[in-house]
Structure 1
Amino acid sequence: MPQIIVLPHHELCPEGTVIETQSGISVCDALLANDVEIEHACEMSNACTTCHIYLREGFDSVEESDETEDDLLDKAWGLDPESRLSCQTIVGDTDLVIEIPKYTINQVSENH
């Protein structure tokens, strides 16, 4: 079973965590199922950037992003070459190390 290693995030996961998950589900679904409350304002429909993550390890093991995701990522806070939307990143057979950015561009957050 692959693991998602979440690096510490000051609000969502201060200690970091390791999640055992199954292949074929999105990183966003795996995080939410394990009490890492990443924002997902568009309800995982590939229409915003609030679930933006950095894939620090395992980037080459996931399917490439499509044009819609790339266009959205261009608007994400803190974009870097390892950026992906967690709702569009499907877990394969390889462990992933992710970092959740400090900020999102969500203008209306129900959790704040």
Structure 2
Amino acid sequence: MPKLTFLPHPELCPNGATVEAKSGETILDVALRNKIGIDHACEMACACTTCHVVVKQGFQSLAASDEDEDDLLDRAWGLTPVSRLSCQAKVAEQDLTIEIPRYTINLASERH
């Protein structure tokens, strides 16, 4: 089973966390199951950028993003070459290290 390491985030995961994932699950599903409350204002419909993450290690193991995700990522705060929408990025067989950006373009946090 691949492991996802979430780097410390001052509000969502202050101490960081390493959790197990199943291949085919989205990064967001894994985070939410493990009580890491990444914002997801569009309810995982690939219609916003609030679930933006930076995949620091293991990025190459993810399937390529599609055009819809790429268009949305262009609007994400703190975009990097290894950015993904966590609702769209599915875990493969490789471990991932994930940074949750400190800010989003969401004006009000949904805190699901």
TM-score range (shorter-chain normalised) is over 0.9
For 1:34 and 1:50, locate their aligned partners in 2 and report how far apart those are by CA, in whole Å.
18
How many positions carry a matched residue from both structures? Answer: 111
Q: Which runs of 5+ in 2 are unaligned?
A: none
* TM superposition shift of 1:41: 0.3
- Partner-residue secondary structure (3-state), 2:101: coil
Show structure 1 runs of 4+ deviating over 6 A: none
Q: Which runs of 5+ in 1 are unaligned?
A: none
Q: How does 1:94-109 map to 2 (within 5 A)?
A: 94-109=94-109
* TM superposition shift of 1:83: 0.5
1:5 matched to 2:5? The reply is: yes
- Partner-residue secondary structure (3-state), 2:5: strand
Q: How does 1:16-95 map to 2 (within 5 A)?
A: 16-95=16-95
Percent identity reads: 58
Normalization by structure 1: what TM-score? 0.97
RMSD between superposed Cα atoms in Å: 0.7
Normalization by structure 2: what TM-score? 0.97
What is the one-letter code of the residue matched to 2:73? L
What is the one-letter code of the residue matched to 1:101? P
What is the one-letter code of the residue matched to 1:55? V
